Structure 1
């Protein structure tokens, strides 16, 4: 690259650093030309710490660190001045948005792509991972091209057209931008210190967009707490790699008073320490600590966050508001219910002023537009009954305003909605959507996709665990785990997401959306309507109210929600209805064996609710009645009666009746989940074995009395 051109880029970079800006540089052309251009550019600059996302050999030629887009979470919380993203190797939206957030003021993001006009038909290598390959025109990339083309701050370098573009003249005033603490951040540090030294059970929830210094504030506050006399501050996060800023700022506050340090620990001479523990270890070990801090909380399952909240006297949570590890707004909405119930005196703090770049940063602005990071559901009042209409809707053909409203609803309603979901919604050819509208505003949305339809041989291989197809989440799960190859052969419409604006809830909007999807199934000759979600009592009640029935519970918790996946189905065709009944009967026969092995820690209220939805598989005989009376009215022991008590749970009507009983939770824990009396006593569920057995006897006695009256 000629020295004059290099000088122009150096001046441009210096102007960006002076004003606190970052920029996107789009290289449009053939792969090898774009790679060669960037490699030559990098040769004229100090690029220590630069990252190249793409092929390691290309990064090696440029003399910079190569990373995989799949490893982006390792770099959250770190900083770089130059990021090269080779889009020819794939463009997973979450990784792109995530790593863009590592660029500091003055940073440049080089994006290597075909010419903008070719984006709608560009077969992104990342599509094969998500089942979007071969879909033809891709609306998601077409939309990104429109956003980028309309943003005058994006620097476009086009092969054969303007390979040495005229760079924007960035106006620099006398005051240079200096990354550092804002008054807002300093106040947060002081507030966190007051919280850490103050009364118990006053948790703090900090939300901010990326680059606002929340991790740094946590680190500085943790250090101040040790210097003020606290003995141990624990910090957790999805990864210790996310906490580099936290530990760096904590160490700066503590200065030469640090006796020993590592990437996950700072210790003072008196033994006072700040330590990182992954959440599973934190919950398993339960170490003593006056304060626990949770960074990037939206990236952790809600069930873990609740356990942390209840396990220590002072807990602070921090989360990114608009993110790719999970949206802070979805986190706040879902987790607020837990906070209101368990710690009603919790405090909320927001950070708005950027710390690592200037307000109005051009790169942040274009990223927000590209991935709808600022999308919000519409502001609306409670609609009048009958004012809501449901209509088919295609997000790929919607206006930007409509799309932002609908995607904002998904962000608000779901714990983890990311840019990757936006791409899947716009580009999946098997997807169909509906929206509920009031006076032109979207108040509800349903997104689903057609699954299954595999040929007989392939479906049989899926059922035997010999093959796994991309996509087809529900169809494959019911075939391989449920044991019925027909589940992969039949065509099912799976509801991927459903969301209703807060003012429009409890008005039947959600049910109307599901009814529209069911009518679509009938009109298209599909076999069933189904869904899969993280098990939660309110959601289970909603789907049961829509006529869907339990057919499977996953054996391990979902990483995203921390809940066990629950799968429900409603047969629409005769074949679909037959499959639904067969799946339910088989699962009802097997579920009790799996409970103590896989669902021993499932919330008992949810377990009772799910079990009540299963068909009965056993009928009582004369000897069973006698044994129950001996247990309820006499002194027949719990352990010798336990096999019968478990069998009772498969009798007609028992679980539905039990779900409404005060001691249903004790029954589920002791009888179905196999908890020992010391476990039950340790959690305060019983005072001891004798009292626990007495309460179980009373449950059986009440049921026997009711049955005898019928």
Structure 2
């Protein structure tokens, strides 16, 4: 059987079952491309239904570079050819699988399958972070990928060099033989009591989608929240767009947000088409600074804002639509609940993110809110039939459905009943159960996990895994990245602004904080740490960090971490011995949080790095808080400064002390010497146990003294009855500081007003 004939049979079976088929062309790259051309021409695909994803040029079909594979998200193709020679990326597979329509083919060009795991390419170079080289990168991910290709139904494999068929990929099913329904697509009619336009329902492709749109009518009424969950390819974003367009047609202001503007593209496409069909658009769509903006003749809007901006509910929208909600942190998601009504749309399985933060912690928050919540689940695929073998292959190959152990298996675990383990990549590859549980927890530890993260876990030479295990089940896991130990040339490159991959902490300390020697010591950064949700708050995370320190302390100079700072997380890392060395001066574009960098030294060299950066952080923090960090949460600032445990020596002269003591106990004024007040505030916050201040008084120190916010704003935010009361409270807050830290001059000034 020649390749074109096999492809024809695969496509015929795919069309009969409304499924897709995967055809692997293994061997020489040129031979694979020629064979792919023969398939496209021989099977009879239309040119506009074919896309080649490759670094090669000169195709008459649409051609995309693998780095731009995401441009096919939300689109439909009859045939996608992915060239995995040279620029192979696991993310590209995840992005392209969903673009192939039912009855279509995904064609994968690979080196000979037996050789592919050890064949070097651009992705191996990407994983070889300094000081490691490409020779240190393994091929376990590709080895596992090849195994899935050889075992999974619906996957054909052809050796293009010998022109032999290893697997024909035919399942022997047809639409007449199968008992499973094909795509649940039918012509939709608006319900008699529908409140959205009939066109919104007529635009739906499945009964599922129509039911979702019907539920989304609740967003017309304040006090409602609708949660729509689905696997990829079920039309949830289209349903969101139809609802947004319907609401805007009525004159409502709909604010759309997503991890990136690209993620919301389908929402705007569907909203625009609907509004155009209703003759409801007011002029052409526009692009604001944030993204797209549709206006309607009734004064409605469908507008985009990035998540941190959207969380402030700018211009008081009537409805908020959050697409790919599971890819956002719980802190941001919780703020959207304050909108009059809100729709949350999320992917259950997929590289967009499927964090437990959404499915557990945020859902708990939503249930406790005053919103009436409606849940909608979409099961029916839009582009292909249920149980499509290519979809199930992608789930298995990329672990899109990775999950931790089910609750009953671990809910009785205690900190004393677990075993500490260093889990090697070889163990993960050999034990699918272990891999699913460990990776499933890592997925939940971060608001965005991609297929590339699985490849890093299995192949990157700088990463290692540690876990707590109970009765064979992973209950807590930490992913560690080895950093530092960089040679002089690499350090100079970093110091001069060059980016060195895989060395986040040395990079920041060297390039931003101008400490070239910081990249000499070696350490482990905790990239991710997660504990099973059923056993949280039992000390397992701290136990895991303690075990890691005991194991690695003699081999490295420091342990470190970098993360989006919240008061709770800062306190957690502080309790586990990590000390603040930096707060980023820009917010993360998705989480809206400033990042904290912390170190736990394990040697004299590590102690020297941590000590000098903690000391410098305290010396510079007052200036940064008054400028680039003037909007950071005061509780984050308090916790970050407290976690230094530094010995900050204030620089107050005799005259400074007289002003501070006079403003606290007498008629002195804060505004005559604000630097003295800032120095004393930093000293107290770095060692808050020395003087007894309330939480509100410490927030007052941050907001007014360190961040230099206007008195009226501070009084309003901190719930003082008046600005004058806020001013008096600042003086009162400094009395204990004068008592504890003041010298003889300060105490003498105090006595003038207390005798």
Give the TM-score normalised by the residue count of structure 1: 0.89
CA offsets per residue over residues 681-704 of structure 1, 9 Å max, x none?
675755653233233223223555
Q: What's 1:576 paired with? A: 606
* Distance in 1 (alpha carbons) for counterparts of 2:601 and 2:440: 31
Question: Is the 2:307–2:591 contact (alpha carbons within 8 Å) kept by the matching residues of 1?
Answer: no
Match for residue 574 of structure 2 among 518, 525, 544: 544
Match for residue 189 of structure 1 among 188, 213, 217: 213
Q: Structure 2 matches for 1:163-242, cutoff 5 A?
A: 166=168, 168=170, 169-173=172-176, 177=183, 179=185, 181-194=205-218, 196-200=219-223, 202-226=224-248, 229-242=250-263
**Post-superposition offset of 1:101:** 1.9
Q: What's 2:40 paired with? A: 42
* Distance in 2 (alpha carbons) for counterparts of 1:237 and 1:594: 30
* Distance in 2 (alpha carbons) for counterparts of 1:280 and 1:505: 27
**Post-superposition offset of 1:376:** 0.8
* Distance in 2 (alpha carbons) for counterparts of 1:354 and 1:571: 52
Q: Structure 2 matches for 1:385-396, cutoff 5 A?
A: 385-396=415-426
* Distance in 1 (alpha carbons) for counterparts of 2:509 and 2:581: 8
Question: Is the 1:521–1:527 contact (alpha carbons within 8 Å) kept by the matching residues of 2?
Answer: no
**Post-superposition offset of 1:350:** 3.2
CA offsets per residue over residues 120-145 of structure 1, 9 Å max, x none?
21213123233263225321111111
Q: What's 2:323 paired with? A: 295
* Distance in 1 (alpha carbons) for counterparts of 2:720 and 2:63: 57
Question: Is the 2:228–2:346 contact (alpha carbons within 8 Å) kept by the matching residues of 1?
Answer: yes
* Distance in 1 (alpha carbons) for counterparts of 2:293 and 2:500: 43
* Distance in 1 (alpha carbons) for counterparts of 2:374 and 2:725: 39
1:636 is aligned to 2:664: no
Question: Is the 1:302–1:562 contact (alpha carbons within 8 Å) kept by the matching residues of 2?
Answer: no
Match for residue 520 of structure 1 among 541, 545, 551: 551
**Post-superposition offset of 1:622:** 4.7
Which consecutive unaligned segments of at least 5 residues does structure 2 have? Answer: 186-203, 287-291, 748-755
Match for residue 502 of structure 2 among 461, 471, 484: 471
Q: 1:527 and 1:241, CA in 2 relative to 1: closer, same or farther beyond 3 A?
A: closer
* Distance in 2 (alpha carbons) for counterparts of 1:688 and 1:655: 30
* Distance in 2 (alpha carbons) for counterparts of 1:655 and 1:342: 37
Q: What's 1:363 paired with? A: 390
Q: What's 2:87 paired with? A: 90
Q: 1:256 and 1:495, CA in 2 relative to 1: closer, same or farther beyond 3 A?
A: closer
Query: Which stretch shifts more, 122-131 or 28-37?
Result: 122-131
Q: What's 2:519 paired with? A: 488
* Distance in 1 (alpha carbons) for counterparts of 2:370 and 2:159: 56
Structure 1 SS opposite 2:141: helix
Q: Structure 2 matches for 1:42-191, cutoff 5 A?
A: 42-43=40-41, 44-55=44-55, 57=57, 60-61=58-59, 63-131=60-128, 133-162=134-163, 166=168, 168=170, 169-173=172-176, 177=183, 179=185, 181-191=205-215
**Post-superposition offset of 1:621:** 5.5
Question: Is the 2:127–2:459 contact (alpha carbons within 8 Å) kept by the matching residues of 1?
Answer: no
Q: 1:66 and 1:19, CA in 2 relative to 1: closer, same or farther beyond 3 A?
A: same
Question: Is the 1:609–1:659 contact (alpha carbons within 8 Å) kept by the matching residues of 2?
Answer: no
**Post-superposition offset of 1:639:** 2.6
**Post-superposition offset of 1:20:** 2.5
Which consecutive unaligned segments of at least 5 residues does structure 1 have? Answer: none
Structure 1 SS opposite 2:562: strand
1:451 is aligned to 2:483: yes
* Distance in 2 (alpha carbons) for counterparts of 1:99 and 1:593: 48
Q: 1:683 and 1:94, CA in 2 relative to 1: closer, same or farther beyond 3 A?
A: farther
CA offsets per residue over residues 247-277 of structure 1, 9 Å max, x none?
4544565534334554845554434343445
Q: 1:701 and 1:339, CA in 2 relative to 1: closer, same or farther beyond 3 A?
A: farther
Question: Is the 1:416–1:560 contact (alpha carbons within 8 Å) kept by the matching residues of 2?
Answer: no
* Distance in 1 (alpha carbons) for counterparts of 2:215 and 2:643: 48
Query: Which stretch shifts more, 642-651 or 366-375?
Result: 642-651
* Distance in 1 (alpha carbons) for counterparts of 2:263 and 2:674: 48
RMSD: 3.1
* Distance in 2 (alpha carbons) for counterparts of 1:267 and 1:14: 45
**Post-superposition offset of 1:509:** 1.9
1:403 is aligned to 2:435: yes
Structure 2 SS opposite 1:553: strand
* Distance in 2 (alpha carbons) for counterparts of 1:560 and 1:455: 34
CA offsets per residue over residues 284-315 of structure 1, 9 Å max, x none?
892353212122234456665455544x3222
When the two structures are aligned, how many residues end up with a matched partner?
A: 698
* Distance in 2 (alpha carbons) for counterparts of 1:504 and 1:24: 41
Q: What's 1:424 paired with? A: 456
Question: Is the 1:267–1:273 contact (alpha carbons within 8 Å) kept by the matching residues of 2?
Answer: yes
**Post-superposition offset of 1:581:** 1.1
Structure 2 SS opposite 1:435: strand
Query: Which stretch shifts more, 162-171 or 202-211?
Result: 162-171
Question: Is the 1:298–1:327 contact (alpha carbons within 8 Å) kept by the matching residues of 2?
Answer: yes
Structure 2 SS opposite 1:649: helix
